Structure 1
């Protein structure tokens, strides 16, 4: 009996020893990357191209050196989502290890766009490092760049070139009527651009295949040729108030428009209006004609709006906004209090495939939704605690949510301080993470610095939503970012609005507010 016990003990000891040998011999995956910037880093004594992948045993030490890069501040090495701020770091391998160099881009150039009145920047097309188009609402009458003013606020869509480290703006005619016309979004189409928004002008001469003025506030769309002349323009609406909030190009160069409507006649006749204000989506031809069987209102008896729509790889569409309804299209959807963040997936005929409402004890809105390489990403804000909101920082927080293609929520995270933050745009960046722009009024928690009142706030997230870096831009007055893009050189371009005339606003303020274009990095 004792011999059997002895042999069993020997066997167990051998297993333990063998297990230890296996652990010693086991090799772990090590991946070294960078925020979209570096082509290589020094690993040990050798230069390695990024991304660099290798294997290492437990206890192996990897020495990495971060180079200095003009236009960027080195923030540290992110090792399995733990930041080490040393430039030269020695990492001891204990498991599979993801190492990322975090660089925060500096403001390398900026330009204010405007005249003696008020301008707001809402549209941005990043065509290349040196070629951009901006979408601006303008009521100025004294600028050589803003050719003409039709009365009140007008659409102004100037192209810009970036040459010799300076922005060159091409003069462009402002478009609209004698009332107020507000731009909300701009996109590129073959031969020119399409911009959308809304107008209370009754005297815009609709052209091409467009529609006449319908009453109240109408949505408004205009196609401008590359030389700035009108290709077509049109009203979209009915006898109520109607707004267009976004425009994107689809396969085959149609357009997907989203907005809100208080109408059930004219362009919205037969679209299935549910309440006083519905969200709406429509497909438009490249000639400005609404496709008759592809117009639809979404919502219930409460207030519902759609702020963004984009086509997906399968030919359907993603829509997002907010809802206060619990009936109509939303009768079977569990909701919380106040306004809920609303996301919908519809098919090519605009039939709802799935939808969801998310929120907590207060209000939420989704300002943008994008299809990304491995699912869907949504950005907006939450002012809530509880239910779907796990970490409320205070006031309004930026809220970013990641979904699978079928609508299953993968993660949601809040970003901000104890005052208000909102996100208006999000993009997938070249490194597989995300860049978000909006504004912040905070000076604490996720926000390291505030220049005064509200600032343009840009945050960079990893693919899992981890906050890699954040940066504020602005002056002592109110500043906000509206759209963000990335160039082929991995710079970030932001357009928004400033009322500041100091600090980061070096090009000076022309009027009450100016559209503000920022170039970050390189």
Structure 2
């Protein structure tokens, strides 16, 4: 049953459902023009600049709780109690069921729920008469009990001790006040009303332990109403009532305009007076905002009308710490915005802002403000609900039909951050509070089942839904070692499992696991810290993609999120063939099965080496054998269709142990696939970076129409063609493996070395302790060749090293860095950029010298969609005081850090475009040497000291983050150095890639332009 309140008041609290709104364009983040005072229009571009900079400051969702019965249960107000818990107040139409323990009294009743600090229900109470009783306000009183206020049209009966005040010709409904004890026992109730309908909207305790009741009335003199209506044809006036500690009326005041008035909020002043606010509806004028201040005895001290150019509905007004006022409203236009206005002590507008989300293709962005509060730092928290997607002032897409949407503002009204919280259906925020731990609690009502942010299912109809946000500075968190688990199963292969670790940043704690709806295929382990195994049962699932969200929560900790992604592939969509050329059957570390050599023709010759470390791979044996002859072919039977062919190479003769000395262009050959030349004068060492190094080449758009895939290896004038392994994978199933080397890797140290740069060091160090001697490592990669974040399957940071001091496990965590404007040669402890508060992933490092992996999938996805750079900091957050060493890209071992990305999307190598069609005349690549830019950052000129990998003339291009290339004038090389003038280029400040090309090498360097 809908509320019995009149249309105006229903709109005040649940404005305009989506179905009755017309479409319109989004205009969030703009000033609401001349509605208040146009001279305060601000530099709105700054709002958009703050979005990316402050998204990481969003408080995390700590926990959320659902309370309801089998029908409609709506939360109207929430307050934190002195014991750290919460009191929730609203209206119920449910009988005993779900979380509701008492029977209904009428068609709707007051319902209060007391919960603990972690959201566990302690008790609930139902109060009502035989009619419709709607709870609007609840507050804890000084004696530890609670005052409940709302509207009732019930006569005496049930919990109601007095009849409705209506006369025969009057309307029904009065203020109804119920006082209860700390345990929810009713102490007294009072009916306060006139001869018509009266609507209470706020109740507050006063310093003398009495209560002020605020609302509006359609009554004349009669009952408790002592003053006549201000306009008798369509009466609706503001009505303020003072009652004593025991509920007896002390005085009442009728006030407002000769139009229709509706008082919606009230603040009590220190002396026992009050500030009231509401709206005025005129028959021929736009809606106006109304403010007034009263003394403790009910004398009106002043009143203020603020005109609007539309029907912008004022929801709340509150006094601020500077003596002024903060107002929150909802705009009613073709779409709806949040409106926030700050007034000074004279109730004059200082600034006003409007915020909205982005309209979808099918509807407008409906953004309805419900509440605004001042926060302890002098800023403001604005809350309501929104149907809009990311865009304008909103940083996240809609999660359902409507979501809770809160915006944190700086004291000047500039957006600091915003956050959307919601399930898959309707979620309406009604009340926001700042909690004692400096976090926030959001209360409202929801029809959503479990899913997205909502961890509990619907009880029936609308339910009360409370969510707790962590403090912005909270550093207690849970974290999974991997943010994403990916499963790819053939249709008919039903079961699989993978492990991941869960850790807590502080003391051990009991955790709870929840998973999103419609994920019965995912089996959760017992909730605990440590190593966990997640199982998949895909029996009965149709081919396609499935995603589940697992939330690990614990009281006082930020939640950890694990995304489980399952792809069920159709059977026999194509033919996958993997061949170990020149060798026996072999299974890789990643589980790929390569058959023994087969399907070859031509000169039958192979070459093998018995041992030797093959760099850039963990599957050394796959590269120690190769088919190598003057010319040979592979004719592989497959189903007709499109394929990706991956060829694996390593130079295991020239420059290998026991082999001839390496020199440029010793082995050159051509590769034809399906009769088309795909590589001319291919040079294994050049592209692998030297001998005994693995390299893979991908050839896409290979179409087979005759049932045979033909690959021909042909001599091109220098020694013999060779191949170590062949993969043939249907294009629809192929996953590309991209191994990125760092643009920059460096560690920084505190104490007396805080100003020193270690960019040339062959080792990267990590150590954390309570005292001095701390070290953090910074890494940066370019992902500019990736364009589709959603197609990234996984991203793993790999660092090669060990625990120097003992064999214990030491946590090393990877933290995201938003600021990419640092350089390897310029960074130190003092100027190092700030990292995020919560790690992106972690691993444990012991005394074994090897590659260690950290999952950074979610962070890399975000950066691919942002600026194309990934900056990470490695740190030990547990203060173990153990030193960890990792190899840098300057280390001659070749075991540099790697960012290994698996993707179904396209990738364009920034420094080797269209390799398949080139005819490279390259020398051996030297990974431990690179060109050097000085100075960096650069203003007008720079000096480039060339690596000895470059020979002859060089060509330079400066490339910005959008891919625009600036060709630099042909530079003259003088003793290995090049002087470059960029002062004439139309460059803005920021990060650029300097592409250095010569006849023998190509490399990409990073440069920061500051002017």
TM-score (norm 2): 0.38
Q: 1:433 aligns with which of 379, 391, 414?
A: 379
Distance verdict in 2 for CA 1:411–1:102, change over 3 Å: farther
Give the root-mean-square deviation of aligned CA atoms: 2.5
Q: In the alignment, what sits opposite 1:38? A: none
The answer to whether the Cα contact below 8 Å between 2:144 and 2:181 also exists between their aligned partners in 1 is yes
Structure 1, unaligned runs of 5 or more: 1-78, 87-99, 327-335, 385-393
Give the Å deviation of 1:136: 2.1
Distance in 2 separating the partners of 1:144 and 1:481? 20
Q: 2:130 aligns with which of 178, 197, 207?
A: 178
Distance in 1 separating the partners of 2:301 and 2:372? 24
Q: What SS does structure 1 have at the residue aligned with 2:127? A: coil
Give the Å deviation of 1:200: 1.6
Q: In the alignment, what sits opposite 2:475? A: none
Q: 2:238 aligns with which of 258, 279, 282?
A: 279
Distance verdict in 2 for CA 1:178–1:230, change over 3 Å: same
Distance in 2 separating the partners of 1:146 and 1:231? 20
Q: In the alignment, what sits opposite 2:393? A: 446
Q: What SS does structure 2 have at the residue aligned with 1:516? A: strand
Distance in 2 separating the partners of 1:318 and 1:102? 37
Distance verdict in 2 for CA 1:144–1:399, change over 3 Å: closer
Q: In the alignment, what sits opposite 2:301? A: 353
Distance in 2 separating the partners of 1:452 and 1:408? 39
Q: State the number of aligned residues.
A: 407
Q: 1:240 aligns with which of 185, 191, 196?
A: 196
Give the Å deviation of 1:304: 0.8
Q: 2:281 aligns with which of 311, 314, 324?
A: 324
Give the Å deviation of 1:119: 0.4
| Mapping for residues 115-264 of structure 1, pairs under 5 Å | 115-127=69-81, 130-141=84-95, 142-143=97-98, 145-162=100-117, 166-189=118-141, 190-204=143-157, 212-215=163-166, 216-264=172-220
Q: In the alignment, what sits opposite 1:308? A: 265
Q: In the alignment, what sits opposite 1:422? A: 368
| Mapping for residues 357-396 of structure 1, pairs under 5 Å | 357-374=305-322, 375-383=324-332, 395-396=335-336
Structure 2, unaligned runs of 5 or more: 1-45, 167-171, 358-363, 471-557, 559-1011
The answer to whether the Cα contact below 8 Å between 2:148 and 2:179 also exists between their aligned partners in 1 is yes
Q: What SS does structure 2 have at the residue aligned with 1:248? A: strand
Give the Å deviation of 1:454: 1.7
Stretch moving more, 134-143 or 417-426: 417-426
Q: In the alignment, what sits opposite 2:465? A: 516
Within the alignment, does 1:83 sit opposite 2:50 as a pair? yes
Provide Cα deviations, 1:334-375, integer angstroms capped at 9, x if missing partner: xx9332222222233333333222343321222222112112
The answer to whether the Cα contact below 8 Å between 2:208 and 2:272 also exists between their aligned partners in 1 is no
Give the Å deviation of 1:80: 11
Distance in 2 separating the partners of 1:237 and 1:113? 32
Q: In the alignment, what sits opposite 1:11? A: none
Q: What SS does structure 2 have at the residue aligned with 1:306? A: strand
Stretch moving more, 443-452 or 114-123: 443-452
Distance in 2 separating the partners of 1:197 and 1:234? 11
Give the Å deviation of 1:315: 4.3
The answer to whether the Cα contact below 8 Å between 1:337 and 1:361 also exists between their aligned partners in 2 is no
Q: In the alignment, what sits opposite 1:51? A: none
The answer to whether the Cα contact below 8 Å between 1:379 and 1:423 also exists between their aligned partners in 2 is yes
Q: 2:253 aligns with which of 281, 287, 296?
A: 296
Provide Cα deviations, 1:355-414, integer angstroms capped at 9, x if missing partner: 222343321222222112112111122226xxxxxxxxx622211111122212211111
Provide Cα deviations, 1:30-53, integer angstroms capped at 9, x if missing partner: xxxxxxxxxxxxxxxxxxxxxxxx
Stretch moving more, 255-264 or 442-451: 442-451
Give the Å deviation of 1:265: 2.6
Distance in 2 separating the partners of 1:101 and 1:284? 46
Q: What SS does structure 2 have at the residue aligned with 1:83? A: helix
Q: In the alignment, what sits opposite 1:331? A: none
Distance verdict in 2 for CA 1:359–1:450, change over 3 Å: farther
User: If you compute each CA radius of gyration, which structure gives the higher value, 1 or 2?
Assistant: 2
Give the Å deviation of 1:511: 0.6
Distance in 1 separating the partners of 2:417 and 2:99? 39
The answer to whether the Cα contact below 8 Å between 1:148 and 1:173 also exists between their aligned partners in 2 is no
Provide Cα deviations, 1:230-250, integer angstroms capped at 9, x if missing partner: 111111212211111111222
Q: In the alignment, what sits opposite 1:460? A: 408
Q: What SS does structure 1 have at the residue aligned with 2:384? A: strand
Distance in 2 separating the partners of 1:472 and 1:254? 38
Distance in 2 separating the partners of 1:236 and 1:84? 48
Distance verdict in 2 for CA 1:408–1:316, change over 3 Å: farther
Stretch moving more, 132-141 or 342-351: 342-351
Q: In the alignment, what sits opposite 1:505? A: 454
The answer to whether the Cα contact below 8 Å between 1:475 and 1:503 also exists between their aligned partners in 2 is yes
Q: What SS does structure 2 have at the residue aligned with 1:266? A: coil
Provide Cα deviations, 1:288-326, integer angstroms capped at 9, x if missing partner: 12213xx11222332110011112235431101100249
Give the Å deviation of 1:175: 0.4
The answer to whether the Cα contact below 8 Å between 1:476 and 1:503 also exists between their aligned partners in 2 is yes
Provide Cα deviations, 1:60-93, integer angstroms capped at 9, x if missing partner: xxxxxxxxxxxxxxxxxxx99963957xxxxxxx
Distance in 1 separating the partners of 2:70 and 2:134? 18
Give the Å deviation of 1:504: 1.8
The answer to whether the Cα contact below 8 Å between 2:135 and 2:150 also exists between their aligned partners in 1 is yes
Distance verdict in 2 for CA 1:347–1:104, change over 3 Å: same
Give the Å deviation of 1:106: 2.1
Distance verdict in 2 for CA 1:258–1:182, change over 3 Å: same
Distance in 1 separating the partners of 2:455 and 2:398? 17
Distance verdict in 2 for CA 1:175–1:201, change over 3 Å: same
Distance in 1 separating the partners of 2:337 and 2:189? 37
Distance in 2 separating the partners of 1:308 and 1:267? 24
Q: What SS does structure 1 have at the residue aligned with 2:452? A: coil
Distance in 2 separating the partners of 1:303 and 1:399? 22
Stretch moving more, 127-136 or 255-264: 127-136
Distance in 2 separating the partners of 1:261 and 1:146? 34
